[in-house]
Chain A
Amino acid sequence: MNPNQRVRSPLLQSARARWTVRIIGIAAVLSTAFTVWLGLWVTPPDQVQGDLVRLVYIHPGVAWVALYLAFGLAAAASLLYLWPRTRSLFWDRLAAAAVEVGVVFNVCTLISGSIWGKPAWGVWWAWDARLTSTAVLLVLFLGYMALRRVPAEPEVRARRSAFLALFAAVDIPIVHFSVLWWKTLHQGATVLNPDLSPTIHGSMAWTLLLSFVALTLVFVWMLLVRYRIGVLEDWLGSGELDAALRERQAEGVAPDPAGDGSEAAAGAPVPEGVR
């Protein structure tokens, strides 16, 4: 690319894109409010768990978003970044956005599970296979976020992060199958069980399905906004670096590519007064 070419501003976002984000946001709020109304007031209590079953309209939904959507998307985007034919910083930014949103949903999964666990099992936390593998997933993706904050060139950061995301994603099937592979306190899958025959019916099933849709919309909205933040951050970050370099050049101190302390031969512009 010609360095003198005018770069497209990140502020230039089409009206259609802005409206799409707004509409998804409004749909997310409305569907979440509808889910809460159905979950708390309309659906019947369970024969065994009583009112406690109402947590089913929030806990599996946030777990679905964290594990399968967010971290799954982060792994897929990382793979596409590492694949030479599809390598683009778009995939890196998408993975970073998905991981940050996924970490929030993962925290929500652990908190809502813990709140359900106390009255159901008598404890806030147990070193159960499902709970522990979910906590490990959270730690791995917190490590991913920490790694991204290590100063590096965008490509180096993207490559490192992509490898870590793929490594962390190995835990996703472990979390999913943990209730089948080990004896756990956590119940088995209600919908995505091996027989693919949901063990929930009627208004409870529909409300559960709606909760998945609502939280998916929340995730999509957050992902789009977080991706935009990544674009703006990258643009500003590199802009600040260029400004600093230009400022140094204006001061008559050229960058020192040789690294030996000499300032003369780097082609720095000579200030007006010296000529």
Chain B
Amino acid sequence: MRYVIAGYTIILSLLFLYALQLVWRRQRLTRAVERLEAAPASSHVPVPAHSDPRTESR
């Protein structure tokens, strides 16, 4: 039974830690975007890659 307990513990922990890391990454990036949007428009107006005129022409 100890192999079974070890298997469940390791797999569920790995999945949980990865989920936690995903949430942390999403929050960190959302905060970064919020900071950029809060800054004056003249200082920084980011343009997403999919609508970047430099890449659209290719």
Where the two chains meet, the residues of A that have a C-beta atom closer than 8 Å to any C-beta of B are 1, 3, 7-11, 32, 36, 39-40, 51-52, 54-55, 58-59, 62, 88-89, 104, 107-108, 111-112, 115-116, 118-119, 153-155, 218, 221-222, 225-226, 228-229, 232-240, 242-243, 246
Nearest 10 interchain pairs by C-beta: A239-B46, A232-B29, A115-B7, A238-B49, A154-B49, A234-B49, A235-B48, A225-B22, A89-B50, A54-B4
Flag if B4 contacts A154 (CB, 8 Å). no
Flag if A7 contacts B47 (CB, 8 Å). yes
What is the interface size of chain B, counting residues whose CB is below 8 A from a CB of the partner? Answer: 37
Flag if B7 contacts A58 (CB, 8 Å). yes
Return the CB mask of B17-38 against A: 1 if under 8 Å, else 0. Answer: 0110011011001101110110
Interface residue SS majority, chain B: helix
Picked from B25, B44, B53, the residue with its CB within 8 Å of the CB of A1 is B53
Where the two chains meet, the residues of B that have a C-beta atom closer than 8 Å to any C-beta of A are 1, 3-4, 6-8, 10-12, 14-15, 18-19, 22-23, 25-26, 29-30, 32-34, 36-37, 44-53, 55-56, 58
**CA distance in complex: A116, B6 (Å):** 10
Flag if A104 contacts B18 (CB, 8 Å). yes
Contacts of A218 in B (CB 8 A): 15, 19
**CA distance in complex: A153, B6 (Å):** 44
Flag if A236 contacts B36 (CB, 8 Å). yes
A-B residue pairs in contact (CB < 8 Å), sample of 17: A7-B45, A7-B51, A9-B33, A10-B48, A40-B8, A52-B3, A55-B3, A58-B7, A108-B15, A111-B10, A155-B55, A222-B19, A229-B29, A232-B29, A232-B32, A232-B33, A238-B49
Contacts of A221 in B (CB 8 A): 19
Flag if B3 contacts A104 (CB, 8 Å). no
Contacts of A7 in B (CB 8 A): 45-48, 51
**CA distance in complex: A229, B58 (Å):** 25
**CA distance in complex: A54, B32 (Å):** 44
**CA distance in complex: A236, B34 (Å):** 11
